[in-house]
A = this chain, B = another copy of it.
């Protein structure tokens, strides 16, 4: 938290303020507390921070958070609201009283509270988003949490690919126990497997055929034979809130030779990029390396191609720093990142392969132990 203290003092502020529900990753990171309703976190330099929660959450928050927990009543809010009837101004008065001066807030702070606080003292916005940068460098405890989720994700991928592998091909479609094997069916198998490990996934992608040309289409309906099926799973742990992320593209039967060539290219690129990852290399250079590798293979001159970034950080958000994109900065040891090159051609389809792992001083520690094979 030294970086946060530096941020406070460099702004000449008295405290750092976050007001959000703890589904907000900043709040969860700073407090370790999880709640649906918004709570307030205020930290002065050298102190561990005060967490103000609804009265009925105070006991649970005290158990779950390292912060000094106050109930709304205990914080003095109810007293303030005896005379100040406007809840927004009441919050501002409470914060101003506890902070004892101007506060600095993260860039995603809600504007209503900033406006209410500005009536009392200046409000500084942490343009660097210090907490976002803190979150990018994972501790050993965070690494364990993310690896646990990736282990569950791998098991879910195994389950999904197992269903596709054992499917029967009849005409152009896949069947299981006489019934059409669908995207929805595979997604349910994935979800069930994740659940047994305390993880939940939203928007799991099981897309097939021409739909695979849209990287974020979630897919629906019967799964075709002889065509690419993209499976992209990014669940989070219900207990810790940490995410993981992985993608495989598979096919049952005999996919079009063009898809096979695209697959070989993507597999070649991910291997090369992973070998190049270490602390000190920049996310933009890695992105450019992938672009150049694709270019060498001729996958450039048609509509489509490699149309998204190369990867992203993973933590309490599924997309966080560092970026492996034209805007990418220097990778550091402890960054947990995905590497996910892909090729997409409307009408033909798409191929994506995504691993997730940790940046080490001299290499990429791949936490994704699952084969990269198109035909299953």
Contacts and interface: CB of A to CB of B under 8 A. Distances in A.
A55 B305 CA distance: 13
A37 interface: yes
How many copies altogether?
2
A279 interface: no
Contacts of A114: 111, 114
A293 interface: no
A110 B112 contact: no
A28 interface: no
A191 B125 CA distance: 40
A36 B125 CA distance: 24
Interface residues of A, number: 41
Interface string A41-67: 000000000000001110110000000
A266 to B, nearest CB: 16
A195 interface: yes
B214 A60 contact: yes
Interface in A89-114: 105, 107-112, 114
Contact of A37 (B55, B105, B115, B319): B319
Closest 5 CB pairs of A and B: A107-B112, A108-B110, A109-B111, A111-B114, A191-B195
Given A110-B110, A112-B125, A191-B195, 5 more contacts: A36-B203, A57-B216, A108-B112, A111-B111, A200-B202
